[in-house]
């Protein structure tokens, strides 16, 4: 774990750059994290990020790609368009949540 | 004092359901409890045996039995589909219109492959060029396909996690390598392992060990592949990000989902798994409902070993609960998986919620005979011997001498 400065704030991140403490996340930080992985956030992104944040509070773990798709009514194809390549990881990263467990 | 017997209803007579009714039938006084188990058919398959059917390492007669003789006399068995559970009324509605009232309900209806969930899977080549080994019929159809296979691209593919027995696709790949070598076809075959994960397995330490094995055997890994559809005409898997993997013979592991009645009853998550407390397997919403085996959402492997260890914990707790005492046992997520690596060897993985798969020896510290996270002949023989243990000790609910709780003795933290 290391401490780094993003959007002018000190945050703790793991070796993959994911926030260690979801409580350190703010909406400003999300925009900055998105820039770091080459994304510009639109309303469609924000709808998903807000779902992920709320769901984490009630479930205690990061939603899987399927859960995001089912609960927000967003086709998986669209999730790939919004967060290209690795949508589950990228959504978690921007939302300041732990990488979703690939399950077990 | 007049007492009436309470009703325990168990849905599903698979591995977990059979173990639990047999153990509780023995432990609970018959005057206090009536135990009923519901299942849609009378066939019990030894599912770990499916892996060996396509390679003719086991025969169909060795994996299939009737259910009734496996269930203790005195347990009522009802053959029916489950339509839905009404948790408020504490009633199970059956597909044929009958209903069963319960005081306590155990959902043990497992998880099943859903090939229809990926477009293109159920085309004309289903169970031919597009094979699978997670059902009895699929494993036998794949046996015919492998008999005819003469080289090309053999692609083993996982649709999405979680799946039951998450190591089975790797084992299939290793056994295919062995099978092709024996038939003199290995140098004419590209063996490809396609996974939605970023590595060979879900647990980092095991993923490294298994990844090394794949490399050693010349197996190509296609990671981070989320399948969108199967194009049977062009013989390709197509991912959401437009990548394609060509196959001559595909072995796909379809999406796994819990039973549909779980969703109809409002008890399931997006994959029809019942939300339970991970230490007691009790529903987080309805205290009279429990989910055992693959039916629940425990954050550990969907595997027979987990069913076994968690049923042991559940039974101890349930006896306390039935007697009106607090429950004092807690499941730690213990899983114990043999991984066939081909050529007469196997690895053994042992892990729980908090501990990664470890190296060392099992079940006796420093002695074994089985080695953890390393290939050995003893592990392979252990896996083969387990079928006998399953039918004759595990299902009848006889003690196996393996502790439900994971022990660190003789194991080296990774």
Compute φ and ψ for B233, nearest 5 degrees.
Answer: -65, -45
The Cα-based distances of B289 to B143, B175, B251 in angstroms read 40, 40, 36
Interface of B with A in 313-352 (CB under 8 A): 335
> Do residues B123 and B54 both lie within one domain?
no
> Do residues B275 and B241 both lie within one domain?
no
Interface of B with A in 257-296 (CB under 8 A): 269-271
Residue B163 lies in a domain: yes
Question: C-alpha angle B61/B64/B68, rounded to 5°?
Answer: 130
- Picking from A65, A85, A104, the nearest residue to B166 by CB comes out as A104
**pLDDT band, very low/low/confident/very high, at B410 (cuts 50, 70, 90):** confident
> Do residues B280 and B351 both lie within one domain?
no
pLDDT at B408 over 90: no
| Chain A residue at shortest CA distance from B206 | A104
Interface of B with A in 158-217 (CB under 8 A): 160-162, 166, 196-198, 202-203
**How many other CB atoms sit within 10 Å of the CB of residue B151?**
16
> Do residues B275 and B247 both lie within one domain?
no
> Do residues B123 and B79 both lie within one domain?
no
**CB of A59 less than 8 A from some CB of B:** no
pLDDT at A21 over 80: yes
For the ranges B139-148, B157-166, B215-224, B376-385, which has the lowest average pLDDT? Answer: B376-385
Q: Averaged over B345-368, what is the pLDDT?
A: 78
How many structural domains is chain B composed of? 3
- Picking from A65, A71, A104, the nearest residue to B202 by CB comes out as A104
Q: Averaged over B147-164, what is the pLDDT?
A: 96
Helix pair B304-322, B15-27: axis angle to 10 deg: 30
Task: Number of A to B CB contacts under 8 A, please give it.
Answer: 42
Q: For position B414, what pLDDT does the model report? A: 53
Q: What is the DSSP letter of B391?
A: I
Residue B1 lies in a domain: no
**CB of A2 less than 8 A from some CB of B:** no
Q: Which residues of B touch A86 (CB under 8 A)?
A: 224
> Do residues B122 and B176 both lie within one domain?
yes
Q: Which residue has the higher pLDDT, B147 or B345?
A: B147
Strands (E) located in B240-378: 244-246, 249-253, 256-258, 289-291, 335-342, 345-351, 359-364, 368-372
> Do residues B118 and B164 both lie within one domain?
yes
**pLDDT band, very low/low/confident/very high, at B83 (cuts 50, 70, 90):** very high
Task: Check if the beta carbon of residue B110 is closer than 8 Å to that of residue B258.
Answer: yes
CB contact under 8 A, A67 and B166: no
Task: Check if the beta carbon of residue B193 is closer than 8 Å to that of residue B200.
Answer: yes
**pLDDT band, very low/low/confident/very high, at B303 (cuts 50, 70, 90):** very high
> Do residues B78 and B178 both lie within one domain?
no
Is position A103 annotated as part of the catalytic site? yes
Q: Averaged over A5-31, what is the pLDDT?
A: 90
CA nearest neighbour of A81 among A42, A33, A36, A30: A42
Entry pTM: 0.93
Q: 3-state DSSP call for residue B322?
A: helix
Task: Check if the beta carbon of residue B93 is closer than 8 Å to that of residue B83.
Answer: yes
CB contact under 8 A, A76 and B203: no
**Structural domain span for residue B241:** 114-255
Q: Which residues of B touch A61 (CB under 8 A)?
A: 299
Q: What is the CATH number of the domain that holds B282?
A: 3.50.50.60
> Do residues B60 and B182 both lie within one domain?
no
For chain B, the distance separating the N- and C-terminal CA atoms, rounded to the nearest angstrom, is: 58
- Picking from B198, B240, B300, the nearest residue to A76 by CB comes out as B240
Average pLDDT, chain B: 93
**CB of A85 less than 8 A from some CB of B:** yes
> Do residues B226 and B300 both lie within one domain?
no
Q: Averaged over B347-369, what is the pLDDT?
A: 77
The Cα-based distances of B15 to B61, B203, B353 in angstroms read 18, 25, 22
Q: Which residues of B touch A102 (CB under 8 A)?
A: 161, 196-198, 202
Q: Averaged over A21-44, what is the pLDDT?
A: 94
Q: For position A102, what pLDDT does the model report? A: 59
CA B4 to chain centre: 37
- Picking from B160, B224, B299, the nearest residue to A66 by CB comes out as B160
**CB of A104 less than 8 A from some CB of B:** yes
CB contact under 8 A, B270 and A101: no
Q: Averaged over A12-40, what is the pLDDT?
A: 93
> Do residues B142 and B251 both lie within one domain?
yes
User: In sequence order, which ranges of B28-167 are alpha helices (DSSP H)?
Assistant: 136-148
Residue B328 lies in a domain: no
Residue B78 lies in a domain: yes
Tally the C-alpha atoms within 13 A of residue B305's C-alpha that lie toward its C-beta: 25
Q: How far apart are CA B259 and CA B32, in angstroms?
A: 30
| Chain B residue at shortest CA distance from A77 | B240
> Do residues B11 and B99 both lie within one domain?
yes
For the ranges B83-92, B109-118, B336-345, B367-376, which has the lowest average pLDDT? Answer: B367-376
């Amino acid at each position: 774990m290391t401490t780094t400065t993003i959007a002018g704030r000190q945050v703790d991140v793991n070796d993959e750059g994911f926030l260690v403490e979801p409580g350190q996340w703010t909406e400003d930080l999300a925009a900055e994290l998105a820039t770091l992985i080459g994304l510009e956030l639109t309303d469609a992104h924000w709808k998903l990020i807000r779902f992920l944040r709320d769901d984490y509070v009630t479930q205690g773990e990061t939603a899987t790609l399927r859960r995001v798709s089912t609960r927000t009514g967003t086709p998986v194809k669209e999730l790939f368009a919004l967060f290209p390549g690795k949508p589950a990881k990228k959504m978690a990263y921007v939302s300041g949540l732990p990488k979703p467990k690939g399950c077990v | 004092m007049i007492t009436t017997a309470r009703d325990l209803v168990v849905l599903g007579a698979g591995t977990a359901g059979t173990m639990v009714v047999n153990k509780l039938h023995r432990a609970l006084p018959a005057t206090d409890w009536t135990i009923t188990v519901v299942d849609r058919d009378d066939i019990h398959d030894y599912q770990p045996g499916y892996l060996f059917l396509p390679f003719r390492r086991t025969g169909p007669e060795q994996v299939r039995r009737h259910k009734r003789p496996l269930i203790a006399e005195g347990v009522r068995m009802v053959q029916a589909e489950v339509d839905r559970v009404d948790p408020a009324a504490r009633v199970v509605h059956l597909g044929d219109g009958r209903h069963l009232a319960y005081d306590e309900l155990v959902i043990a209806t497992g998880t099943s492959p859903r090939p229809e969930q990926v477009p293109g899977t159920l085309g004309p080549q289903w169970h031919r060029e597009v094979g699978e080994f997670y059902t009895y019929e699929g494993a036998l159809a794949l046996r015919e396909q492998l008999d005819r296979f003469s080289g090309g691209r053999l692609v083993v593919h996982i649709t999405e996690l979680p799946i039951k027995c998450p190591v089975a696709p790797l084992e299939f790949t290793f056994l295919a390598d062995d099978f092709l070598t024996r038939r003199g076809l290995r140098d004419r075959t590209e063996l490809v392992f396609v996974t939605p994960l970023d590595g060979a397995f879900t647990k980092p330490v095991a993923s490294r060990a298994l990844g090394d094995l794949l490399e050693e055997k010349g197996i190509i890994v296609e990671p981070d592949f989320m399948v969108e559809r199967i194009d049977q005409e062009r013989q390709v898997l197509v991912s959401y990000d437009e990548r394609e993997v060509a196959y001559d013979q595909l072995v796909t592991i379809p999406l796994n989902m819990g039973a549909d009645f779980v969703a109809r009853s409002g008890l399931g998550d997006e994959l029809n798994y019942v939300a339970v407390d991970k230490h007691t397997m009790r529903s987080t919403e309805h205290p009279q409902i429990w989910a055992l085996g693959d039916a629940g959402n425990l954050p550990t492997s969907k595997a027979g070993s987990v069913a076994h260890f968690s049923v042991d914990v559940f039974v101890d707790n349930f006896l306390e609960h039935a007697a009106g005492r607090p429950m004092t046992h807690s499941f730690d997520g213990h899983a114990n998986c043999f991984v066939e690596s081909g050529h007469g060897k196997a690895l053994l993985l042992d892990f729980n919620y908090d501990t990664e798969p470890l190296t060392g020896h099992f079940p006796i510290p420093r002695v074994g005979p089985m080695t953890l996270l390393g290939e050995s002949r003893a592990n392979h023989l252990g896996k083969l011997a387990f079928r006998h243990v399953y039918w004759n000790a595990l299902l009848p609910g006889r003690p196996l001498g393996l502790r439900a709780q994971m022990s660190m003795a003789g194991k080296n933290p990774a």
